[in-house]
Structures are given as structure tokens and as C-alpha cells.
């Protein structure tokens, strides 16, 4: 199966349906003398509606197909028959999609709840038939109203993934391996930096009844808040997390410096990300890390009253305790 490319921004052009024209008609019935106007109204055009759904976690389908148009309303008919309304066009977007009006730059809506909908472009009203314009001074009007055009808008869709907890850290800190251990997500794992080029979501089973959604935030390096690496592109997905877990590799030359580097980037980025870091995870405990490095990391965490946990996604050390801790953090 081919993997769908992760796209978190897309520009789409939506056009609502035009309303049907009103009809000009007169009664033509046997034994009815001087039949009056009988033109029906045109049907309203269909609207373009956006709906948030958990079925998608990327905007890929909008980048591939950016133009969308709802159905036109049918024209009115004789015997005061109203034309059929145009069918609404329903477009599904991932949870956490922000909808911006490209013309004004305004944020129209944040589609953050499953099933939440918004009318992105309203269909045009159908025109009135000539039966509406009969009066004592004009008993045989020979005109009707045309249908109104539907709204035409250019929208910018921006996705900020919604998850309970996010994993942050320098490249090769063990984020992908840990997410794969905790969930059914299968991010790419390799022994070189920037292996993961997109955020991954995984459902973590705490027990038989409780689950939570974890996200891996890739590409965080020094200078990420200025656009270095991939951090600036993907840090926005951490804004939705209830809590963040920072991962550190104890085998690095200066792991405490690595921790402070990531923390600095979160502070510089803003959006209140730094206070969301509620747990420090020392990974790769199966590799027999330097005892001195472990003591330094734990001491750093104690000074800042930050919870610290030793884990190994390979051997399973600390994994059960971690899932319980993640649930507590997300409450």
C-alpha cells in the first residue's frame, strides 16, 4: 500500500452553485380563459460545506484537487413548479483544520471537533418566476428574476494535529522507536538525523478501557524557532497537545546541553509550549548508558521539579509506568 504524503497546508478554491432562473410562463388550459402567469421559482444553488472528521490526518487530497464546485439550482418551470435545489458539496477535513479567507486573511473557523461543520461558500438564491409579479396594474408580467450567483472563495487550510501528548527532542533521541513501541504507528526508524520527516500519530492503550493519542514532533534542532531544520514547520502541531514529553539520549556527548537546547527552542517559539513539558524521558536504557550522564540528567530534572523516567523502547524498561504517567499528565 502506498503511503499518503503528509500535507498540513493547502489552498482551495470553492464555488457555491448558482441559483436557478425564475420562469416566465402562462396558463394554457382548456376551458380557462385568459390564463394568468404561472412561472415558478428557480431552485437555490448548493453550498460548499466543510466538515471535520477523524478519518483524515492530512490535507493531501486538497493539494491534489484544489478546485471544488457545488451543484447549480434548476430553473423554474410552468404551473408554478419550483426548480430543484442544487445539492450541497460536503468536503471532509482533518480534525484541527484552521480555515482562513485568503482575500481578507481572517480566520473563519477552527474545526477542532469531530462532526463540526461550516458553510465555506453559500449557494445563490433562485430567481422568482413571473407568477410573483402579477399585480392589478400588470396582470401578465413577461419577466422573471435570474438566479443569484453562488459565493466564490479562496481558502487557506492549515492543519494543527490534535493529540493528547507530544514527544519532542533532538533528532535520534528515540521518538519514533518509542511511538512504535507504545502504539500501532510505524514511523521510519534509522540511525541518522532527520529520519522522520512528518509528524506521526499513534493511539496508546493505557489499559482495556483507556486510550490516548500520542504525536511525534520531528525536526527539532537548535535554531528551530528561526526556521532551522524542520522544527518551525512542525512545532505548530505541538500547540494542540495537552502535555509534552521531552526525550533525551543519554549516550550523547553532553545530554544536559541537549535538554537545555530543546527547552530553549520551545521557549523561543512561544505559544506556551515550554510549560507543557511535564515529563523528561531518558531513552535507550538498553544500551548501557554512562552512569555519570544519567546522574546529571536526573539532577537537572530535580532542580526544576520535573518528573524524570528511564525507559527503553527495545527492552520495555519503564514502558508500563510510562503509559500510566502519560494518562495522568493528560488529565
Going from N- to C-terminal start, the domains of the chain cover: 9-159, 165-330
Instruction: Answer whether 305's CB lies under 8 Å from 298's CB.
Output: no
Which residue's entry shows cell 489552498? 11
Residue 161 has a pLDDT of: 78
Closest-CA residue to 225 (of 193, 266, 277): 266
Averages of pLDDT over runs of 10 residues in the chain (331 residues) are 64 96 87 79 96 86 91 93 95 92 91 93 95 88 94 92 84 85 69 57 80 79 51 70 90 87 84 85 88 91 91 90 89 78
Residue 248 in grid coordinates: 533525551
CATH number (3.30.160.100, 3.40.50.300, 3.40.1160.10, 3.10.20.90) of 165-330 reads 3.40.50.300
Domain 9-159 -> CATH class:
mainly beta
Residue 224 in grid coordinates: 528551530
Say if strands 307-310 and 243-248 run parallel, antiparallel, or are unpaired.
unpaired
Residue 233 has a pLDDT of: 63
Closest-CA residue to 97 (of 111, 113, 107): 111
Torsion angles phi and psi, residue 228, rounded to 5: -70, 145
Say if strands 243-248 and 9-15 run parallel, antiparallel, or are unpaired.
unpaired
Amino acid at each position: 500500500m502506498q503511503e499518503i504524503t503528509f500535507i498540513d497546508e493547502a489552498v482551495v478554491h470553492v464555488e457555491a452553485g448558482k441559483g436557478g432562473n425564475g420562469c416566465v410562463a402562462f396558463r394554457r388550459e382548456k376551458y380557462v380563459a385568459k390564463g394568468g402567469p404561472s412561472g415558478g421559482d428557480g431552485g437555490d444553488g448548493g453550498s460548499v460545506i466543510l466538515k471535520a472528521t477523524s478519518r483524515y490526518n492530512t490535507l493531501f487530497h486538497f493539494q491534489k484537487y484544489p478546485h471544488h464546485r457545488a451543484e447549480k439550482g434548476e430553473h423554474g418551470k410552468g404551473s408554478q413548479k419550483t426548480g430543484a435545489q442544487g445539492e450541497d458539496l460536503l468536503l471532509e477535513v482533518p480534525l484541527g483544520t484552521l480555515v482562513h479567507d485568503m482575500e481578507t486573511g481572517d480566520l473563519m473557523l477552527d474545526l477542532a471537533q469531530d462532526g463540526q461543520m461550516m458553510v465555506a461558500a453559500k449557494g445563490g438564491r433562485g430567481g422568482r418566476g413571473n407568477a410573483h409579479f402579477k399585480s392589478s396594474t400588470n396582470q401578465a408580467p413577461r419577466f422573471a428574476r435570474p438566479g443569484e450567483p453562488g459565493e466564490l472563495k479562496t481558502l487557506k487550510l492549515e492543519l494543527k494535529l490534535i493529540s493528547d501528548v507530544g514527544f519532542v527532542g533532538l533528532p535520534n533521541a528515540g521518538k519514533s522507536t518509542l511511538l512504535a513501541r507504545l502504539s500501532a504507528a510505524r514511523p521510519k526508524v534509522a540511525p541518522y538525523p532527520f529520519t522522520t520527516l512528518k509528524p506521526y500519530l499513534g493511539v496508546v492503550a493505557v489499559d482495556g478501557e483507556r486510550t490516548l493519542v500520542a504525536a511525534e514532533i520531528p525536526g527539532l534542532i537548535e535554531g528551530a524557532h528561526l526556521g532551522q531544520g524542520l522544527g518551525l514547520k512542525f512545532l505548530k502541531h505541538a500547540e494542540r497537545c495537552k502535555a509534552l514529553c521531552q526525550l533525551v539520549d543519554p549516550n550523547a556527548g553532553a545530554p544536559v546541553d541537549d535538554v537545555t537546547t530543546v527547552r530553549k527552542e520551545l521557549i523561543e517559539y512561544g505559544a506556551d509550549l515550554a510549560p507543557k513539558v511535564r515529563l523528561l524521558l531518558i531513552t535507550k536504557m538498553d544500551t548501557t548508558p554512562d552512569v555519570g550522564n544519567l546522574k546529571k540528567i536526573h539532577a537537572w530534572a530535580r532542580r526544576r521539579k520535573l518528573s524524570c523516567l528511564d525507559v527503553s523502547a527495545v527492552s520495555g524498561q519503564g514502558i508500563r509506568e510510562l503509559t500510566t504517567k502519560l494518562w495522568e499528565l493528560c488529565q
